[in-house]
């Protein structure tokens, strides 16, 4: 009886522990499955045209996504210009100046903004930028992505500023530097590596966003000069091409998927390696 129970407990132990291991490796293998499928399907579909040509009219095969690649870059540039400064300065406030209560409120709001579904951010940018002028624009897409960049940048900036040892700060102050001079010439440069990595991660994350662009930047089958016209972007192109009924469009969706995933993962691997080496928490 007693021996039977012990045997049961021991076998339960082995079975359950094996199951936990299988779960972990199962989840990780999904990453490799995703990579494998995209390299297999996307690799076959990639060609030079993809990078240099405009989309062909519906029904014709061939063509590329040159406009969407440039479009994604333009949208990211706008997002960086709008989101990064706000995020950095707010991060400096939280790390260096903030009072207890107000900082708590800002931090909480930042987390909240981070958790807002991206499609809702899209509605927000739509009512802010598209509704008043009654047409989709690059600018609206940039605003949507820029808002999404802010919370990640705030957290990265605050965390890295806080990780700078107090002795550096005291050293600068002891030499008679004022607080802002200390921040600008000692603390920020010391934390800059981490902050820049955090910013890159933020941009990598919004680079793959589709939902907030659907009704802000919309899409465009041609070049989009300036900032006030609808513009194509890689994620939106993947979406439209994948749900369309043409085989050649599916082929191009895979190719675009490979490029997008490749860039996003490369940025993530690079940034996270730098961050892990710095020994800072992985919470970003």
Partner 1 sequence: MSTASTTFEHAAPPNAGPRAFIQRLRQGDEIAHIVTLIFAAGILLITSLLVYELWINSTLSRHQFGLNFLWTQTWDPISGDFGALPFIYGTLVTSIVSLVIAVPLGVAAAVFLAELAPRKLSDGIAFLIDLLAAVPSVIYGLLGIFIVVPLMRTTIGPVIKSVLGELPIFKGPNYGVGFLTAGIVLAIMIVPFIISVSREVLLTVPRDQREAALGLGATRWEATWKVVVPWARTGIMGSIFLALARALGETMAVTMVIGNDPKIKASLFAPGYTIAAVIANEFTEATGDLYLNSLIELGLVLFLITFILNGLARLLIVATSRGGGHP
Contact set for partner 1, span 36-55 (CB under 8 A): 37-38, 41
74 close to 141: Cβ distance less than 8 angstroms: no
Cβ closest to partner 1, residue 74 vs residue 152: 152
**Token pair of 237, please?**
């192109």
How far from 280 is each of 35, 151, 158, 200, 248, CA to CA, in Å?
Answer: 28, 18, 12, 16, 45
Q: Nearest distance from residue 215's CB to partner 1, in Å?
A: 5
Query: How many whole angstroms from its chain centre is CA 196?
Result: 14
The count of other CB atoms within 10 Å of the CB of residue 5 is 9
Coil, helix or strand at residue 135? coil
Instruction: Pick from 7, 13, 52, 185 the residue near partner 1 by CB under 8 A.
Output: 13
Contact set for partner 1, span 64-103 (CB under 8 A): 85-86, 89-90, 92-94, 96-99, 102
Q: Nearest distance from residue 110's CB to partner 1, in Å?
A: 6
119 binds partner 1 (CB under 8 A): yes
Q: Nearest distance from residue 37's CB to partner 1, in Å?
A: 6
The count of other CB atoms within 10 Å of the CB of residue 78 is 21
Q: Nearest distance from residue 206's CB to partner 1, in Å?
A: 10
Contact set for partner 1, span 200-229 (CB under 8 A): 204-205, 207-211, 214-215, 218
Instruction: Pick from 115, 165, 225, 279 the residue near partner 1 by CB under 8 A.
Output: 115
Query: How many whole angstroms from its chain centre is CA 266?
Result: 12
């Amino acid at each position: 009886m007693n021996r039977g129970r012990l045997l049961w407990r021991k076998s339960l132990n082995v079975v359950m522990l094996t199951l936990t291991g299988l779960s972990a490796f199962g989840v990780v293998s999904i990453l490799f499955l995703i990579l494998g499928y995209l390299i297999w399907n996307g690799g076959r579909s990639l060609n030079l045209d993809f990078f240099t040509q405009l989309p062909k009219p519906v029904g014709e095969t061939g063509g590329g996504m040159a406009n969407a690649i440039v479009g994604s870059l333009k949208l990211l540039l706008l997002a960086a210009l709008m989101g990064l400064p706000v995020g950095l300065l707010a991060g400096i406030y939280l790390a260096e100046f903030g009072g207890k209560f107000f900082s708590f409120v800002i931090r909480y709001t930042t987390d909240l903004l981070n958790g807002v579904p991206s499609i809702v951010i899209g509605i927000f940018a739509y009512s802010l930028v598209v509704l008043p002028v009654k047409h989709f624009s690059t600018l609206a897409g940039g605003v949507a992505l820029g808002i999404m960049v802010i919370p990640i940048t705030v957290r990265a900036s605050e965390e890295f500023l806080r990780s700078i040892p107090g002795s550096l700060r005291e050293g600068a102050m002891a030499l008679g530097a004022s607080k802002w001079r200390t921040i600008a010439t000692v603390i920020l440069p010391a934390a800059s590596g981490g902050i820049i990595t955090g910013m890159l991660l933020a941009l990598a994350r919004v680079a793959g966003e589709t939902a907030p662009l659907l009704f802000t930047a919309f899409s465009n089958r041609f070049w989009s000069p300036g900032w006030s016209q609808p513009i194509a972007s890689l994620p939106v192109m993947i979406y439209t091409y994948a749900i369309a009924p043409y085989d050649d469009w599916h082929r191009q969706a895979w190719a675009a998927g490979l490029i997008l995933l490749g860039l996003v993962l490369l940025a993530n691997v690079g940034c996270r390696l730098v961050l892990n080496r710095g020994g800072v928490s992985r919470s970003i």
